[in-house]
Amino acid sequence: MKKAIILTTAVFTLASCTSNKIEHQQDKITSLSSGIDLQYVDSLVRPQDDFYRYVNGKWIEEYEMPADKSRYGSFDALRDKSEKDVKGIIDKLAQNTYSKDTDEQKISDLYNSYMDTQSIEKAGLSVLHKDLAKINAINNYDELLSYMSYADMFTNSPIGLYVYIDLKDSNKHITYVVQSGLGLPDRDYYFNEDAKYKNIRAKYLSFIENMYTLANFDNPVQSAQTVMDIETKIAEGHWTNVETRDSEKAYNLKTYDEFKALMPDLNIDAWMSGTTLPKIKEIVVAQPNYLEKINKLVKETSIADWKTYYTWQLLNQSAEFLPKDFDDENFKFYGTVLNGTTEQKDRWKRAISNVNGSIGELVGKVYIKSFFPPDAKSRMDTMIENLRSAYGDSIKELDWMSDETKLKALDKLNKFDPKIGYPTKWKDYSSLHISKESLVDNMIAIQKWGIKRNRSKLGKPIDRTEWGMNPQTVNAYYNPTKNEIVFPAGILQAPFFNLSSDDAVNYGGIGAVIGHEMGHGFDDQGSKFDGDGNLNSWWTEADREKFNGRTALLIEQYNNFEVLDGSAHVNGELTQGENIGDLSGLTIAYKAYKKAHPDNSKIEGLTADERFFYGWAQIWRGKMRDERLLQQVATDPHSPSEFRGNGPLRNFPPFLELFNVKPGDGMYLQPEKRVKIW
């Protein structure tokens, strides 16, 4: 029941740096602060060697990670603030009773049902009896196929289905089928022979066994091994993260009959009947050869073993909403083994996260009234247009791109649709019914509502006002199918966006974030979509070849970044989209700032250029537990924060000149190896 509809969008994060060798200029008297956390500067580190640690070193050295955190940094600090702000909203609502089906009633009762541990303990596993009975009632493969589509809606299953905008026709919705069905983060967790991964697999097996034991099911040891065997076979067919992020490779349009032909031994009509969709004529299959392997795996595995597998998926996906013993066991694996955290978050924090993740726009309506000042939007509007203008100038000046492709790039840039703060039209939750009696019943109702809402989009026009994040979210994203850049109210606060600070630090922070999201429109995948949001090759072959040559250099740079004392590396190919976004964001934000503010006056002893780079570096400030870091380099398209902070700067001449970076310095990169894309 933790399952969520996932839409493919790109998200961001950025950094800033400074220097100690600069041209002294007349101090400028201003009422604005620099916005720089100078107390964290480590003067024992040369900015020419490691700018990220120069700006953030004292914080990195002194900060003690909370026991309930696997990572902490600028983003997380702001997320904590957003969490407390939302808590203030929900606490007031949770103390009162409201008319049924009002926004206030839904927020209050969902939160209170999560906090009502006494009722959760009393109910025990009885809340799952209906779903367990569905599993136990499976007698043959046709019934199994029917259950598989049901399981995809409510827990987890080897085949996932959702409705989204057609990548090649952005004016209509289409159905997508994707690989799914694993309990570990990624296929490589099942096969990597490094001792760290072997240890994780052993503990995952014990975790499954312990959950079966808690549920008083027969043969927990044998059941755990059955689940592990099935998941390993599913993982064998999974594409890698690098393969799945290739938009063109993962777009395989099939007729319904062609889709069925990929799994000729299975009753796909029985599977489709359980999806709640009408009979469809076409479907996009993300990983066709994966389905061919599933076709074989389903029939090679006994009905009894599939029942064991689905019982596990139900237990695992529901654990957070079950009695404490199940919740604690779930945390021991996913919290401690995979992420290194030793303490569970306070229940109120998890309750707020659950409300945000389930009915977040209802909270967002209240949040923006208190925490999003009108001045923030007007200032963001100006910055976005300044960056759009700077990006246009940069495209026009490119020496590697033809005029033909430049015109199409400029067309796409001009069609960017910026969204700031909160949606102009809110989601309609009127058909969702929440009560304070049963948390699991609430989560099932929410899941049914979300699935119905998603699948009802098929055949309907595209809603271009819809957001993929709540207003209170501390993040941002670019959506290639709508060609939109989206900045929720939650991130429009210090250190990213400080209304009390001058523009230099803000351009180094939120300006680089804006540039990053714009950059996703022109990264290795976003650049395959045209200005109308269609997956459409608008480049000349020669220009694409030159672009690929530059991105290959960037991939090589990031492949050489080591983590965990050299036992693992950043995956430059997996992270290339975000790395391109970071480099583009830094480049365009600096260009936009210098165009809007050509002076280099001082505030608090720092020139404007210094403040810009400091602002970049301090938003990347962060620490991460080894377990979480291992998971990040294995599965996350974002590089670890220190490389997001330093990596783009090593390629950026204005930074290198300002800090007088020379051969032999840690930040030095030979000119022929530096990358400039946009």
Model pLDDT for residues 323-348, shown as the tens digit of each residue: 999 999 999 999 999 999 999 999 99
Percent of the chain with pLDDT over 90: 92
Domain boundary among 341, 360, 382: 341
Q: Is there a single domain that holds both residue 511 and residue 623?
A: yes
Q: What is the pLDDT of residue 154?
A: 87
Q: Is residue 587 part of a domain?
A: yes
Q: Please report, as a single letter, which amino acid is at residue 296.
A: K
Q: What is the pLDDT of residue 614?
A: 97
Q: What is the pLDDT of residue 267?
A: 96
Total number of domains constituting the chain: 2
Q: Is residue 435 part of a domain?
A: no
Q: Is there a single domain that holds both residue 173 and residue 280?
A: yes
Q: Is residue 522 part of a domain?
A: yes
Q: Is there a single domain that holds both residue 324 and residue 473?
A: no
Q: Is there a single domain that holds both residue 499 and residue 559?
A: yes
Determine the Cα–Cα distance for residues 432 and 444; give it in Å rounded to an integer: 11
Q: Is there a single domain that holds both residue 393 and residue 529?
A: yes
Q: Is residue 127 part of a domain?
A: yes
Q: Is there a single domain that holds both residue 602 and residue 520?
A: yes
State the CB neighbour count (10 A cutoff) for residue 328. 13
**Looking at residue 207, which CATH number applies to its domain?**
1.10.1380.10
Q: Is residue 161 part of a domain?
A: yes
Checking if the pLDDT of 26 tops 60, the result is no
Q: What is the pLDDT of residue 279?
A: 84
Residue 663 Ramachandran class (φ > 0 left, ψ -120 to 50 alpha, else beta): beta
Is the separation of the CB atoms in 104 and 93 below 8 Å? yes
Q: What is the pLDDT of residue 276?
A: 86
Q: Is there a single domain that holds both residue 421 and residue 325?
A: no
Q: Is there a single domain that holds both residue 403 and residue 331?
A: no
Banded pLDDT at 32 (limits 50, 70, 90)? confident
Checking if the pLDDT of 271 tops 90, the result is yes
Q: Is residue 456 part of a domain?
A: no
| Selection from 547, 502, 515 nearest residue 402 by Cα | 547
Question: pLDDT by residue (tens digit) across 284-317?
Answer: 999 999 999 999 999 999 999 999 999 999 999 9
Q: Is residue 301 part of a domain?
A: yes
Q: Is there a single domain that holds both residue 258 and residue 384?
A: no
Percent of the chain with pLDDT over 70: 95
Half-sphere exposure of 378 (CA within 13 A, CB side): 4
Q: What is the pLDDT of residue 179?
A: 98
Checking if the pLDDT of 278 tops 90, the result is no
Checking if the pLDDT of 71 tops 90, the result is yes
Determine the Cα–Cα distance for residues 526 and 536; give it in Å rounded to an integer: 10
Q: Is residue 107 part of a domain?
A: no
**Looking at residue 513, which CATH number applies to its domain?**
3.40.390.10
Question: pLDDT by residue (tens digit) across 533-569?
Answer: 999 999 999 999 999 999 999 999 999 999 999 999 9
Segments forming the whole domain that contains residue 519: 14-65+72-83+372-427+466-673
Checking if the pLDDT of 574 tops 50, the result is yes
Q: Is there a single domain that holds both residue 226 and residue 135?
A: yes
The least confident of 208-217, 274-283, 381-390, 657-666 is 274-283
Q: Is there a single domain that holds both residue 396 and residue 527?
A: yes
Domain boundary among 319, 341, 363: 341
Q: Is there a single domain that holds both residue 510 and residue 657?
A: yes
Tell me the CA end-to-end span of the chain in Å, nearest whole number: 43
Q: What is the pLDDT of residue 31?
A: 63
Mean pLDDT, the chain, as a whole number?
94
Domain boundary among 322, 341, 360: 341
